[in-house]
Amino acid sequence: MAVLVQWYTIFSFGMVIFILYSSIEYFAVYAFLSDAVTESNLRKVYDESFDDLLILNITTFGEFRELLRVPVWIHAVNACSQLAGAAVVCIVVYQIWAFMIIPSYKAAQQNAVWKNHAWHPPKRVNWILWILVLPMVFCVETMRANAKVWGVITGKAPEFFFFKFSEAEKLEFLYAREDLEIASLMQFTAIYAFTRLVSSLFENTAIIKGHLDDGMAKLALEYKRLIRLGGFLGPWIYIAAGCLRATVTIVLAVILQFKVRKSNVVDPTVLFIENVEEAFKGVTSTAFVLLTVLSVVNMVTMTRTFIITDKLGDVNKKFIGARVMLNCSEIVPKVVEAFELGTPLYTQLLPVTNYVSCLHLNKAQAEMLKVAILNTACLATVIMNYFFWKDVDVEDAGLLEFPSNEQAQNMPDEQEVHDPLLCA
């Protein structure tokens, strides 16, 4: 069947498999692991890393065990966030099929040209599908990051078979960081799809499309280009900067993994790369806040026109879900770092956070809390997307760019076959 080879079917099936695998791994391997087994695993790690741990001023197994102990409240929050994965899948899969794919298919069946490609959505429907399914990617990546943290605190991480504690912990947390940055990078593609969707509705207005003579058609093309590039300059810069920052962070994480494997965590090159990464994050953080504000203002200005609201309703509400995920991926790590022992932000804010010293976290606890909050935010995003997008009718909103039956009758046979795919 044609529906089985569509990108949204393959993509959704893959995400469902990953989320099921991650959930089963969490509950079967980590969540109910007995204290005795955990202590046995960690005792082995401690014995093999004794000299390494002395450098960290850890002289007894009790100190080492305490370093990796998880408070009950973090354990509970983390467990609830893992259950969110199943909810994310159910909501997203139901929404894309009930509100986008099936209505698009039924409309295509009534069109003389597109009925032969009924399961192939037009480009605007594809953009909305991409916006709606991407939270599943974020959910998968946070769950994979969570598994790596649990591997460290239970002594079951694969890297413990090859490295001592410091190197193994560093590698597992680098893997987790890489997962989260990939999730952030994918969210910027959702902003891209959203921007293309809105700009295409401007380009589809009668004042641009309604001219047939060559001179006016050329002028219309210039207006389309100006609207797409100049009218949405804020979001384009925001997307480019976000993708660049995420890519650089991923590349640095991969380089660090390679160097840690070849040397150790105190190698001068490793320390240099970590300093470069911290400097890069510091330089880009302020600029990124300004770009976020510029992007939001630009999008609000462009989407308040009747051209957009008549078709999609309140677009700013529909934009909230994507913004929530990106803002959470930016803000949550900073907030958690304020309570994470040893981080520069912790040192700066210590006079304030000392009043709530019960919330101070070691690295493992901080990573676990971070991924739990992000996974919960992913579920919140999916719920918002469901309620804010469900009022969009693919036909009334002008999202279906099918040739009319009258146009189809005037098409040559060979054009009739190929034109639908050109609109994708």
> Token pair for residue 67?
């370093």
d(CA 226, CA 196): 13
Q: What mean pLDDT comes out for the span 301-308?
A: 81
Portion of the chain with pLDDT greater than 90, in percent: 26
The owner of tokens 């099918």 is: 402
Which of 145-154, 204-213, 296-305 has the lowest average pLDDT? 204-213
pTM value is: 0.84
Cα separations in angstroms, 19 against 75, 156, 357, 368, 380: 19, 20, 35, 18, 17
The owner of tokens 């207006």 is: 223
Which of 15-19, 146-150, 360-364, 371-375 has the lowest average pLDDT? 360-364
d(CA 67, CA 104): 54
Closest CA to 41 of 20, 64, 73: 64
d(CA 139, CA 205): 37
pLDDT per residue over 109-161, tens digit each? 888 777 888 898 888 899 999 999 988 998 999 999 999 999 999 999 999 99
pLDDT per residue over 86-116, tens digit each? 899 999 999 999 999 999 998 888 887 778 8
pLDDT at residue 412 in the model: 47
Please report which confidence band the pLDDT of residue 210 belongs to, taking 50, 70 and 90 as the band edges.
low
> Token pair for residue 193?
């799809």
Residue 46 phi/psi, 5-degree rounding, is -60, -45
> Token pair for residue 302?
């462009």
The alpha-helical segments, DSSP class H, found in 96-232 are 102-109, 123-153, 165-203, 206-209, 214-229
336 contact partners, CB below 8 Å, separation of at least 6: 361, 366, 369, 370, 373
Q: Which helix (H) or strand (E) holds 325?
A: helix 315-337
Which of 20-29, 153-162, 218-227 has the lowest average pLDDT? 218-227
| Most confidently modeled range among 28-37, 260-269, 311-320, 355-364 | 28-37
Number of residues that make up the chain = 424
> Token pair for residue 103?
């209505």
pLDDT at residue 214 in the model: 65
CB atoms within 10 A of CB 410: 10
CB 242 within 8 A of CB 184: yes
pLDDT per residue over 65-92, tens digit each? 888 888 888 889 988 888 888 899 999 9
CB 171 within 8 A of CB 261: yes
Q: What mean pLDDT comes out for the span 355-382?
A: 87
Measured in whole angstroms, the distance separating CA 214 from the mean position of its chain's CA atoms is 44
Beta bridge partners of 340: 361
Measured in whole angstroms, the distance separating CA 49 from the mean position of its chain's CA atoms is 36
271 contact partners, CB below 8 Å, separation of at least 6: none
275 contact partners, CB below 8 Å, separation of at least 6: none
Q: Which amino acid is at 243?
A: C
Cα separations in angstroms, 190 against 49, 73, 151, 187: 44, 33, 31, 5
Q: What mean pLDDT comes out for the span 198-221?
A: 70
d(CA 71, CA 85): 22
d(CA 408, CA 249): 50
Q: What are the contacts of 41-44 at 24+ separation with CB within 8 A?
A: 41/154, 41/155, 41/156, 42/68, 42/154, 42/155, 44/155
Longest Cα pair distance anywhere in the chain, in angstroms? Answer: 84
CB 412 within 8 A of CB 162: no
d(CA 176, CA 26): 15
pLDDT at 366 over 60: yes
pLDDT at residue 98 in the model: 92
pLDDT at 192 over 70: yes
Please report which confidence band the pLDDT of residue 211 belongs to, taking 50, 70 and 90 as the band edges.
low
Average pLDDT, the chain: 84
